[in-house]
Amino acid sequence: MYPIRTILHPTDFSEQARAAFDCAWPDYLPRCTEADFAENRRLRAATAWKYWMHDTGTLLPTQLASGRSKCFCGAALTIASVDDHIRQTHMDMA
């Protein structure tokens, strides 16, 4: 299982930011679409995946001159395949 890593969470806000968040959230939330939530989950999974790659000492394809590396799960990666790999294999990290 992956460690839980919180990048930004409402509990991290200052009191003033928290009050502004609480005020704006009821107006913002009803305008969110399922696509917005899906994109948020994708971004959270991609961020968690990148941190897990870093924490396991696994280089990203963008960090190698070849543009190729392997995921911590063993899958071959290219710069172009990273997003699809995360979507297909690591959405549980969101």
From first CA to last CA, the distance across the chain in angstroms is 12
Q: Which residues, other chains included, contact 13 with Cβ-Cβ below 8 Å and sequence gap of 6+?
A: 21
Site string for Zn ion, 67-86 (x = CB under 5 A): ----x-x-x-----------
**Contact between 59 and Zn ion per CB under 5 A:** no
Question: Between residues 20 and 75, which has the closer beta carbon with respect to Zn ion?
Answer: 75
Question: Between residues 13 and 41, which has the closer beta carbon with respect to Zn ion?
Answer: 41
Q: Are 94 and 41 in contact (CB under 8 A)?
A: yes
Task: State the nearest-atom distance from the C-beta of 6 to Zn ion, in Å.
Answer: 22
- Count residues binding Zn ion (CB under 5 A): 4
- The count of C-alpha atoms lying within 13 angstroms of the C-alpha of 44, restricted to the half-sphere facing its C-beta, is 16
- Written as one letter, the residue type at 92 is D
DSSP-H helix ranges across 4-93: 15-28, 34-55, 82-89
Residues lying near Zn ion in the complex (CB under 5 A): 71, 73, 75, 89
